[in-house]
């Protein structure tokens, strides 16, 4: 075994990770301390090493031979309840836990592309291993082999194909229970549009009865928090509510009670569910139980949330008390006026092709796509990116927004609020742009801010839309643009953390590391040029202080001037008096961004920053700042904390209270003031 592993150039740890075995088990097998290794362990090792002799040993017999399946049996994937891949009644071994997670993710999005970033997040979360790209390819390759081994000419089997930056599981509708669920739900919707209530009720009954267990039961939170899972539970809830209306209207009270009880466990504060349960209980002669349902929910709403029961719940309560009437059977569905369909809005800027991966990308994407509030009432998921000027916050936000587009099928809205410019964009102007993108005619846009907010939140109440708010000045500018409900998500960028935004998750986006800055320079200026002059490339990165915008400008200037050497560019950047002049190319320039940061300061703080920049060099302490500003240590500390909040200086990760200027801030601060 050790010889086989060494022939393919794999370490013991790598083989253990890819086969799903523990280091101890692999070590015991390699040292021949296990007389009869489990067939399943040998099969996994054979798949990783692609060694025919191991396959032969597996098929020759082992301690735990895999059960054989009838080749004529149907192939299927079960997502409702414990995940399983079946051939007839026999459950097939998919492989390692990560392969099971990957196949479950692909089946959850069957016949749709799943992006690689999403795969990485589900398999490893916020800390993927260094070799995650190769591992994804390996897991996909093994799953393809697994599916191919269980293919038959008559029945076939799913296949995995490459789609853009991701993978897609191609499978027939009747092979995945979740696809059948969606198919039946669609059939119920068609029957309702046609006014065929018996057909609608039959389809909805089959939809509700399909729930034999929780979706992806036994998997971790990263997979079960997927938006497709939330879609399933939302559709199941809607199906149960509609089926209850039909059954109660037909006087079938006892039949509807078990359905409502089952769904109620996952929605303890849903007033519509409780209303129907009360009516069904009362209709079946259980008035005391119906009143008990109302009493418990009313008490919870008043004591824990300080809100009154809804009109629907109060009406059901009156009906149970005999002061109202039970609902009549619903009449034929009225067909709504059909309006020309409009495509979902897509206002995102172009996805940057030269994006350089950074460690913050995966946790931001994970939070944006998987976060669902635990609040029973539901709140929009808000992701806040903050950091120094020109550190790449906007690029990361746009890249993440593009990577998560499949999670927001109802559209993506984007606006640059120009928060740190002399003329920030008013919230009403931004809302007007959003409303028109959502289909509101310009003449119908409300004239007041409050009117725009109300219409905006009403339009997004049941939609799943991603809202990107770029360059936000403060919480007051952002708050009117936050959608209501809990289906949509928001990603915003700002210079400082907007801590007053409710339930927001904040991510600090620092400047690039040296390696990231060098990679961006190579992508824009040309890899052959940075490879020919590595020392000059490193000097350029250092002189630009690894600031992404500065590196981008230098790269563009070099790309437009192929006769320039990197050494020539480094020489121009060495001149501190003119470095900011050099960092300008067309509409891109570093100085205006820095001016916006300093303009946000109070006049006294701005004067103190200029004084400090002319007095100290790079790293400085609180005592040095107090001496330069001729103030007390306490006053200096307060001043430094304000500069830190504004991302103009950065505290060192050391216990000695050392501070550094944010990239290129010192150079701008020492320039003559107007």
Say how far apart CA 387 and CA 648 lie, in whole Å.
Answer: 9
Whole-number Å distance between alpha carbons of 487 and 636? 45
Query: Can you tell me the distance from the alpha carbon of 53 to that of 597, in angstroms, rounded to the nearest whole number?
Result: 66
Above pLDDT 70, what percent of the chain? Answer: 82
pLDDT at 73: 66
The per-residue pLDDT for 339 is 37
Radius of gyration from C-alpha coordinates of the chain: 31
Q: Which residues contact 592 (CB under 8 A, 6 or more apart)?
A: none
Mean pLDDT, the chain, rounded, equals: 81
Long-range contacts of 577-586 (CB under 8 A, 24+ apart): 579/543, 579/664, 579/667, 580/664, 580/667, 580/668, 580/671, 582/554, 582/557, 583/544, 583/549, 583/550, 583/553, 583/554, 583/664, 584/553, 585/553, 585/556, 585/557, 585/560, 586/556
Token pair, residue 552, equals 């981008």
- What is the pLDDT, as a whole number, of residue 195? 85
Please say if the pLDDT value at position 273 is more than 50. Answer: yes
What average pLDDT does this structure show over 2-15?
A: 58
Above 50 in pLDDT, residue 377? no
48 CB contacts (<8 Å, ≥6 apart)? 10, 15, 18, 19, 138, 142
At residue 35, does pLDDT exceed 70?
no
Alpha carbon separation from 505 to 79, 127, 371, 373, 464 (Å, rounded): 31, 18, 10, 11, 19
Please report how the helices 603-615 and 590-599 are oriented relative to each other, as an axis angle in degrees rounded to 10.
Answer: 130
- How far is C-alpha 504 from the geometric centre of its chain's CA atoms? 14
**pLDDT at residue 8 above 80?**
no
For residues 318-332, one letter each, b for 16 or more C-beta atoms within 10 angstroms of the residue's C-beta and e for the rest, the string is ebbeeeeeebeeeee
Q: Given strand 84-87, what is the order of strands in its sheet?
A: 75-78, 84-87, 90-91
pLDDT at 340 over 60: no
When comparing pLDDT for 582 and 17, which is higher?
582
**Given a cut of 70, is residue 154 above it in pLDDT?**
no
pLDDT at 9 over 60: no
Q: What is the mean pLDDT of residues 630-645?
A: 89
Note whether 113 and 169 are within 8 A (CB). Answer: no
Rounded percentage of the chain residues whose pLDDT exceeds 90? 22
CB 351 within 8 A of CB 402: yes
Q: How are strands ordered across the β-sheet holding 649-651?
A: 620-621, 658-661, 649-651
Q: Identify the band that residue 59 occupies on the pLDDT scale cut at 50, 70 and 90.
A: very low
State how beta strands 489-494 and 466-472 pair. Answer: parallel
With 0-12 / 13-18 / 19 or more C-beta atoms within 10 angstroms meaning exposed / middle / buried, residue 564 is: middle
Q: Which two tokens stand for residue 664?
A: 């290129």
Q: What does the alpha-carbon distance between residue 625 and residue 647 come to, in Å, rounded to a whole number?
A: 17
> Tokens standing for 639?
């001043």
Identify the H or E element spanning 42: helix 39-49
Band (45; pLDDT cuts 50, 70, 90): low
Proportion of the chain in helix, strand, coil states, percent, rounded to 5: 55, 10, 35
**pTM, whole model, 2 decimals?**
0.56
């Amino acid at each position: 075994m050790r010889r086989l592993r060494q022939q393919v150039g794999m370490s013991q740890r790598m083989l253990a990770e890819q086969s799903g075995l523990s280091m101890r088990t692999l070590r015991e097998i390699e040292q021949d301390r296990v007389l009869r290794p489990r067939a399943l362990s040998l099969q996994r090792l054979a798949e990783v090493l692609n060694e025919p002799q191991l396959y032969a040993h597996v098929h020759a017999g082992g301690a735990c031979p895999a059960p054989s399946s009838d080749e004529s049996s149907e192939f299927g994937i079960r997502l409702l309840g414990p995940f399983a891949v079946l051939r007839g009644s026999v459950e097939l071994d998919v492989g390692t836990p990560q392969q099971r997670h990957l196949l479950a993710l692909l089946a959850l999005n069957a016949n749709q592309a799943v992006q690689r970033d999403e795969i990485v997040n589900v398999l490893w979360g916020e800390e993927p291993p260094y070799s995650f790209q190769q591992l994804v390819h390996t897991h996909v390759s093994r799953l393809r082999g697994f599916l191919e081994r269980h293919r038959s000419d008559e029945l076939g089997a799913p296949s995995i194909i490459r789609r853009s930056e991701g993978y897609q599981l191609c499978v027939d509708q009747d092979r995945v229970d979740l696809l059948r669920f969606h198919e039946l739900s669609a059939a119920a919707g068609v029957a309702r549009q046609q006014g065929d209530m018996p057909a609608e009720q039959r389809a909805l009954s089959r939809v509700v009865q399909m729930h034999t267990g929780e979706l992806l039961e036994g998997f971790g939170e990263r997979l079960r928090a997927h938006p497709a899972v939330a879609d399933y539970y939302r559709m199941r809830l809607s199906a149960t509510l509609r089926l209850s209306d039909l059954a109660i209207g037909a006087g079938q009270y006892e039949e509807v009670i078990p359905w409502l009880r089952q769904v109620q466990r996952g929605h303890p504060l849903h007033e519509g569910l409780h209303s129907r349960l009360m009516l069904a209980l009362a209709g079946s002669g259980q008035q005391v139980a119906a009143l008990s349902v109302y009493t418990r929910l009313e008490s919870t709403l008043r004591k824990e949330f300080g809100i009154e029961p809804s009109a629907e719940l109060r009406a059901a309560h009156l009906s149970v008390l005999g002061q109202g009437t039970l609902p009549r059977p619903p009449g034929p569905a009225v067909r709504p006026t059909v309006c020309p369909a409009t495509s979902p809005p897509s206002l995102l800027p172009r996805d940057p092709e030269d994006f350089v991966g950074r460690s913050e990308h995966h946790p931001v994407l994970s939070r944006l796509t998987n976060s669902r509030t635990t609040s029973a009432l539901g709140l929009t998921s808000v992701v806040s990116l903050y950091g120094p000027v020109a550190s790449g916050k906007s690029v990361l936000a746009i890249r993440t927004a593009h990577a998560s587009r499949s999670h927001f099928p109802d559209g993506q809205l984007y606006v640059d609020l120009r928060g740190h410019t002399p003329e920030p964009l008013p919230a009403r102007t931004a809302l007007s742009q959003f409303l028109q993108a959502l289909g509101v005619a310009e003449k119908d846009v409300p004239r007041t801010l409050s009117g725009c907010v109300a219409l905006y939140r009403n339009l997004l109440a049941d939609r799943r839309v991603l809202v990107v708010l770029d360059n936000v000045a403060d919480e007051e500018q952002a708050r009117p643009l936050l959608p209501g409900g809990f289906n949509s998500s928001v990603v915003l960028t700002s210079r400082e953390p907007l801590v007053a935004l409710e339930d927001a998750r904040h991510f600090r986006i620092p400047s690039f590391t040296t390696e990231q800055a060098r990679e961006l320079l190579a992508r824009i200026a040309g890899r052959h040029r940075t490879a020919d002059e590595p020392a000059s490339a490193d000097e350029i990165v250092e002189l630009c202080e690894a600031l992404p915008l500065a590196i981008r400008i230098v790269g563009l200037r070099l790309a437009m001037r192929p006769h320039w050497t990197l050494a020539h560019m480094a020489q121009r950047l060495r001149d501190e008096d003119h470095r900011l002049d050099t960092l300008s190319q067309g509409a891109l320039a570093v100085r205006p961004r820095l001016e916006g940061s300093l303009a946000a300061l109070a006049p006294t703080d701005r004067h103190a920053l200029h004084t400090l920049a002319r007095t100290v060099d790079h790293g400085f302490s609180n005592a040095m700042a107090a001496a330069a500003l001729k103030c007390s240590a306490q006053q200096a500390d307060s001043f430094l904390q304000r500069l830190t909040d504004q991302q103009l200086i950065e505290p060192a990760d050391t216990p000695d209270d050392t501070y550094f200027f944010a990239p290129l801030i010192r150079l701008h601060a020492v320039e003559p003031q107007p």
